Structure 1
């Protein structure tokens, strides 16, 4: 702690630039329903009480007062202040600076950019909800905010204060009690953007009942008369322990916002109750929007764990696999120890069984979503769900039943695999797909020509993760088959075998001439208009996957692929005639063979091994044409 001549020093610090910008957006009323600031403060206070109780279980030597844990609301209509106070875990000076003065989350700049672009208050609220910055909402209703806190087990308190402009002050607070109090110096009552008087007891009681009735800690206020002991204004009933008929939709929505720190309503609610050898209750939620940090490595994930209504852990990763990290909610187990640790949870049989049941329930719920809700879900969470196809082999089939993919059946709508199977042509054995960087590149690929002509539907897979999951297994007894791999015969005819015999000499010569880059040259049944295409063997890495591995620094041996020729194309028939007439020692013929290979490589979006040589040969050929 800093002192000058025996007196504590008051420091003036600047907000981090992103925090300063976000505060300005809050101050200038981006959110129409300002009542939620109180919900956010009460939620923070509840979290602080949960954390204190957990720390006292884990650290028996922690010097903390846990005799009467509660939240208290104090109002002063004359001074126009509202104080939210808890006697929970509290904060140290460094924690205050880190948690309030700085937004220490990835994606801040992107969020602020989107907020500045949108003019719609509801859209702004959705974005704020994805980010989760509840404390800053206080500046929607307050000209100044004062925070006094002392971390449990320490003797040093801290006083923080700001008007939300560009700076804040921080100084020691020697007499601060354990916990945190946040005092809002409210804006004038007649200010036109204030819809309610937040210094009025009736207003505050109404907001608490609406948004925070389920909080499991007592929320106390002075009685309506203003005389006597503070009274508890919330019911403190755990929603997951109440019957569905006893809980309103509004209560469910507010509870979701409490556990998720999301300002939107959930897309779907999931209830689960198990009785028997071990008992637990679960109340889970599928969000309607993907959180901004869904793909941030350090982002927290998991579900809140309770034991006999006692909060144990905020983000219990052991309860859900990583690909379901967007699921929020609580699980209340009856038979676990209150001192359970993450290490114990990883080995606990009950936790593993709960996890399996939760996963099955979440997947079945998603599968049964009404079409409109399903479309919303898939647009937000398709990429993360596909991770499960790689990571969770036990539930791969269930995940595939949920997935939708673009296909050649429709340019606008995606298709579920069950619908693809229903549309399969008679005699079709495989589910055909092609991966690539974009739909345009895939649709223009030479590999698509025969499939398009003969009416075979092809899945159009453009997500990088599609390269990872599609190789394993199949769906509904049908294997996935890349149309750019292996030998594909679409309605073969005896004429195909005759052509192979006719082109045998050319194919053998080209295989030798291009031996440094291809493993084989053969005739194709997948081409109708292009002269050639390049395909892989059944178990070869695709070019896209090869690029991904190399970009990650993995050394891979060169992969030789197969050059397929279209026997009906004039360029290929001309090559056969020239080879028959001039033999295999003609330099121009060898250069033409190389051009055919390089053109096929370019058509699939590949990189030429020697672009300068290709350009030189092509320029020479063009000169001869002119």
Structure 2
């Protein structure tokens, strides 16, 4: 069943025997998500059957693995299966399995609520009018609740393997606001989900329809799915006594040869595996035989969970099998964090069946599989990149920020990752038209020996930074970086294709012959002006320890001032973000660069009134700080100085 955090309000209590049901209220967020899901999530309501079958398959997988250490759990009922039974007289549809089942506590944890750490944030986005894709709700893993799309009420009966019949559990809800839970006698282990279908959904009681749906959506499930016929009228022997019929092939899809599988087969298995409602963006199916034998089937989803960038500490990974025996559903050691969006299956013929999460971290065979999974994941993304067009643009929009983390985390594969990165640049009129590093290098101006970039708090700040002025004047392309990870990434990234990276906002900038030879440079313009040494000393004295130095700028053509950091120093917008998060930030004293030919600087040079001189000096610093995404220590003082600047006339001789 779907996994989630358990928290519900108890409104009544059972008696000492546990015979009276407890009634719980769903959390407010849970009710909202359920309402959105039932009315908006699935474009095809028939998906509910796939979701229930997928949950049943997971329960059987878990029992098969648990049975290795507890063989008594399988005694008397070792034929693992899923059963579907329609009762036209009562209007109920039942999906049952003889899998691992659940205890009362597990029912509350898995079924009692679908609250998620990001649910409230997602709902706030919807309420704020942001057009978030409501199909993202499918990423919460709430497939069980899809039953309420077609059912007025749902009853769940379950008993954990290894427990007594009287320790079974009954859960009932109409999906509106409450559910009840009580102890019940359940003869066999496993779980039954009974749907009381809505009056206009009785088509899902028809045998031919159910059979078609199973074969369309769940044929690849690795356990037999049996469908029971309703007893037929006298004279029709086809369904006499409500006989059972297996309606799926029950073969692990990844174990089949690729030439026997269609795109729809791969897409159907992906949806079974992930509970996603969209087809995957791409996939890769590989089998390795020899000294080590294993199969991998990897997928890239079409949509990312809306908080993927924040999920570094949440469980992720591939589903691990050993000789088709399910071992774990999130084998994190098989994937690095920066590929946490990849979904899929790894089936090894060499790992021990008792492999644990701890052993995965120490097993040499696992390390080899991990290396292959990373390589094939990047190859899969690389092929998508080579195809170009909208598909790779869609991938980058969803997962680009996360992929950038690999530049830092995976130096061994850095050369594979770098050509996959996309950046906005000063060349692109449309921000959606992004460039990659090979294309940037190919367009570099003759004589250009560095890849220029700038990082900023957001895209507009990067595009409007005063540091770009001399580069635009001379037609030199600059990469614009505004993702949260960019400053961190660039501190580890030193060169590409033999060309060093150079921040236009850090260190010295000397374009040398480039500024003279560029075809876009304006002829006849004078060189940047110089600042009088006495003026520099006066400004420096006014600013004190706010800056480490004051100097004439080679970067500015239109703006009056800018702040420049040292080569290894942290950008001001990142410093602000860390300070807001309560993180310690090393002190940084930037250099203030002034455009000697700007009217404000020229006015400052002739200002004789010391009070006005200090006011103008501080304002030049503060406006440069704001342009860099920094925070003012005294915003009210800044406003006062601006007001005085607008009312006080220029200095006179």
Question: Fold-level match, TM-score > 0.5?
Answer: yes
Q: Which residue in the other structure is 1:48 paired with?
A: 59
Asked whether 1:453 is paired with 2:473, we answer: yes
Pairing of 1:594-609 with structure 2 (within 5 A): 594-609=618-633
Q: Give the match for residue 534 of structure 1.
A: 563
For the structure 1 residues 310 and 525, does the alpha-carbon distance in structure 2 shift closer, same or farther, using more than 3 Å as the test?
same
1:229 positional shift = 6.3
The two structures have a TM-score, normalised by structure 2, of 0.86
* Deviation for aligned residue 1:127: 3.1
Task: Indicate the SS of the match to 1:101.
Answer: coil
Structure 2: any 5+ residue segments left out of the alignment? 1-11, 230-237, 517-524
- Bigger shift: residues 390-399 or 16-25: 16-25
- 1:16–1:101: 8 Å Cα contact kept in structure 2? no
Structure 1 residues 386-397: aligned runs within 5 Å = 386-397=404-415
Query: Is the CA contact (8 Å cut-off) linking 1:293 and 1:299 kept in structure 2?
Result: no
User: Which of 143, 157, 166 lines up with 1:148 in the alignment?
Assistant: 157
Provide the rounded CA distance (Å) in 2 between the counterparts of 1:573 and 1:140: 71
Contact persistence 1:303–1:315 (CA under 8 A):
yes
2:212 is equivalent to residue 198 of structure 1: no
8 Å CA contact 1:83, 1:181 repeated in 2:
yes
Match of 2:302 in 1: 288
Q: Is 1:521 matched with 2:589?
A: no
The equivalent residue for 2:331 is 316
Q: Write the distance in 2 (CA, Å) between the matches of 1:566 and 1:29.
A: 57
CA distance in 1, matches of 2:564, 2:276: 47
Alignment of 1:180-259 (within 5 A): 180-188=191-199, 191=200, 194=201, 197-222=203-228, 225-227=239-241, 230-259=244-273
State whether structure 2 residue 321 is matched by structure 1 residue 306.
yes
**Mean alpha-carbon deviation: is it higher for 430-439 or for 126-135?**
126-135
Deviations 1:550-599 (A, max 9, x none): 23333334211111122323443454566xxx7xx956545543343333
Comparing 87-96 with 616-625, greater Cα deviation is found at: 616-625
Match of 2:503 among 482, 499, 506: 482
Q: Distance in 2 between matches of 1:587 and 1:455?
A: 41
Distance 1:31 1:289 in 2: 15
Query: Does structure 1 residue 172 correspond to structure 2 residue 192?
Result: no
Corresponding residue for residue 424 of structure 2? 406
1:101-180 alignment to 2 at 5 Å?
A: 101-111=112-122, 124=134, 126-155=135-164, 156-180=167-191
Q: Could you give the per-residue CA deviations for residues 13-53 of structure 1, whole angstroms, max 9, x where no partner exists? A: 32233333444445557644222111111110110011112
Alignment partner, residue 348 of structure 2: 333
Question: What's the CA shift for 1:165?
Answer: 2.6
Give the Cα–Cα distance (whole angstroms) in 1 for the partners of residues 466 and 104 of structure 2.
64
Q: Is the 8 A contact 2:333 2:370 kept in 1?
A: yes
1:514 offset after TM fit, Å? Answer: 3.6
**Cα root mean square deviation, aligned:** 3.1
Matched residue SS, 1:353 = helix
Structure 1: which 5+ runs fail to align? none
Aligned partners of 1:114 and 1:509: how far apart in 2?
50
- C-alpha distance in 1, partners of 2:625/2:127? 44
Give the 3-state SS of the residue equivalent to 2:434 in structure 1: strand
Question: Equivalent of 1:93, from 80, 87, 104?
Answer: 104
Structure 1 residues 393, 65: CA separation in 2 closer, same or farther (over 3 Å shift)? farther
* Conserved? CA contact 1:520–1:561, under 8 Å: yes
Greater shift, 537-546 or 554-563, is seen at 554-563
